[in-house]
Structure 1
Amino acid sequence: MNATALIAEDEPLLAQALQLELARAWPELQVLEAVGDGAAAVKAALQHRPDVLFFDIRMPGQGGLEAAAELAEEWPADQPFPALVFVTAYDQYALQAFETQAVDYVLKPVQPARLRKTVDKLRELLARRQGGDGSLDATLAQLRGLLGGTAAPRQPPLKVIQASVGTSIRMVPVDDVLYFEAADKYVRVVDAQHESLIRTPLRELLPQLDAQVFWQVHRGTVVRATAIESVLRDEAGKLHLQLRGRKEKVPVSRLYAHLFKAM
């Protein structure tokens, strides 16, 4: 079958090597573009709508997992999501997660025999999708599993956040925090009365939070579950949370909308 693909890889020589091996293993595949970072990958994928995505798991700024999650948020719900293949150096947590979620991967440097197995899987998957088997919900479930499964091991829950307020440090009890929100190079720590900033990235903060207490509702937002007063749906069908003690509404991404279904 004549399929199309997009490669996102920040090392040009590795991208070129992957493209050459793909040409040998799958001559009918058309590589539409090769880009070097996650943001460019999302933009190019939305423009080209390829059948297959080869995403490097670690890229400057936004890695492959985060880019795939953002793309899933923006992808039209009535169209099959591209088949995902992650390109990675050996990483114990990542490989275990890929295998658990049944998502294919290619190790660096690319091995022709392993790539041919990936190509066979992709051909079979795309053939099934021609018959109408292309659920975005299934992809979202895989991405949720990957985003959780490739994280660092859980650590003892934080009790206090040391946050910057101007030129001083404010000690914020975690029990007071309503939500955390990624903002540029910082994470906003928001309680009922104050907002503070910390430099710890959200992905490093998550393993230190109690997952039963704090729910991730967006790739850049984690909220205290008991602080959620109501869940609102706008005219476009997107969900927003109203938190106790706050006026602003917190958006819920498509990736985490499954958390909010009536019991």
Structure 2
Amino acid sequence: MDTIRALIADDEAHLRDYLESQLKTVWPELRVVAHAANGLEALRMTDEEAPDVVFLDIRMPGLTGLDVAARLVDGPKPPHIVFVTAYDQYAVDAFEHSAVDYLLKPASLERLEKTVAKLKARLKPAAAAEGAVPAAALQALLAQLAAGGVAAAVPAPAPAAAPLQWIRASHGEETRLIPIDEVIYFQSNDKYTSVFVAEGESLIRTPISKLREQLDEQQFWQIHRSVIVAARHVAGTRQDFRGRLMVQLKGRPEQLVVSRNYVDLFRGM
């Protein structure tokens, strides 16, 4: 198979870089030939670079990812399109039942591996000759999304209450993009908030009071004015010799104090 070329379109540079770094891990032979920060740039770069695959953020200023896809599908040789989204369950449901793939931000390696496997199958010479993803399939999907009101709603900003999908944090001299699913707990630390993941501790400047407003309260529990813990990492609770309720974490030695204001969370455990 010849070298496969790809374009990544997203209006947030760090998310473009993050997706490219993930792709290098699961598909090292893929060559990312261009980045685009908006829909018009995506169209221009697609015309100039003729990528085989285009990763399209759905929500971009100007032309949306859906607008770009609608124009690309009318071209003489449409690229394979993977939509990237952080929103809209209706759109996700539609993608699930279509020939077109999608990724939820930030893309996990496991999910990206499935997308790459689909793309490789479609890019095989025999599949390409047969039209593995015919233009009609993409056109039908775009029509379905538009009929559901998705296309009209795309330019609107995400709701303020939408839960965080990732955390941009400092780790030494590096800045890391941490998927929210990898966070074990947050802890207030003087002027910073510490973000604990399996690989260690990073720092963000967001106060824990503001952070709480951006987290899914079903997935993250505040157990102290300075601590928020991911519910899936809670192994159980116990009382220490002072009578304080302590949260025990799965596979970690540290135990977190539950303040009296939050003890009710653990009634019955």
8 Å contact 2:54–2:79 — kept in the other structure?
yes
Cα distance in 2 for residues equivalent to 1:149 and 1:26 = 34
Q: Deviation digits for residues 226-253 of structure 1, max 9, x if unmatched?
A: xxxxxxxxxxxxxxxxxxxxxxxxxxxx
2:65 is equivalent to residue 68 of structure 1: no
Highest RCO, 1 vs 2 (Cα 8 Å, sep ≥ 6)? 1
1:101 to 93, 98, 102: 98
SS at match of 1:33: strand
TM-score (norm 2): 0.52
SS at match of 1:34: strand
Structure 2 partner of 1:32: 33
How big is the shift at 1:150? 5.3
Counterpart residue type for residue 80 of structure 2: A
2:108 is equivalent to residue 111 of structure 1: yes
2:131 is equivalent to residue 133 of structure 1: yes
- Structure 1, gaps ≥5 residues long: 153-200, 205-263
Structure 2 partner of 1:257: none
8 Å contact 1:65–1:147 — kept in the other structure?
no
2:18 is equivalent to residue 17 of structure 1: yes
Q: Determine which structure has more spread, i.e. the larger CA radius of gyration.
A: 2
SS at match of 1:62: coil
Aligned length: 152
Counterpart residue type for residue 85 of structure 1: V
Query: Compared with structure 1, are the counterparts of its residues 102 and 116 closer, same or farther at alpha carbon in structure 2 (3 Å cutoff)?
Result: same
Structure 1 partner of 2:120: 123
8 Å contact 1:42–1:67 — kept in the other structure?
yes
Query: Compared with structure 1, are the counterparts of its residues 130 and 103 closer, same or farther at alpha carbon in structure 2 (3 Å cutoff)?
Result: closer
TM-score (norm 1): 0.53
8 Å contact 1:85–1:103 — kept in the other structure?
yes
Query: Compared with structure 1, are the counterparts of its residues 202 and 96 closer, same or farther at alpha carbon in structure 2 (3 Å cutoff)?
Result: closer
How big is the shift at 1:202? 9.6
Q: Deviation digits for residues 8-56 of structure 1, max 9, x if unmatched?
A: 0011000000001101111111111011101111111122211111000
Matches for 1:134-213 after TM superposition, within 5 Å: 134=132, 135-149=134-148, 151=150
SS at match of 1:41: helix
Matches for 1:249-260 after TM superposition, within 5 Å: none
- Structure 2, gaps ≥5 residues long: 156-269
How big is the shift at 1:203? 8.2
SS at match of 1:110: coil
Cα distance in 2 for residues equivalent to 1:132 and 1:54 = 22
Cα distance in 2 for residues equivalent to 1:138 and 1:64 = 16
Q: Deviation digits for residues 85-118 of structure 1, max 9, x if unmatched?
A: 0111042111112113232111111211100110
Cα distance in 2 for residues equivalent to 1:203 and 1:90 = 9
SS at match of 2:54: strand
Counterpart residue type for residue 31 of structure 1: V
Structure 2 partner of 1:161: none
Cα distance in 1 for residues equivalent to 2:33 and 2:15 = 17
Counterpart residue type for residue 98 of structure 1: F
8 Å contact 2:36–2:42 — kept in the other structure?
yes
Cα distance in 2 for residues equivalent to 1:150 and 1:120 = 31
SS at match of 1:131: helix
Among the aligned pairs, what percent are the same residue? 45
Structure 1 partner of 2:82: 85
Query: Compared with structure 1, are the counterparts of its residues 131 and 36 closer, same or farther at alpha carbon in structure 2 (3 Å cutoff)?
Result: same
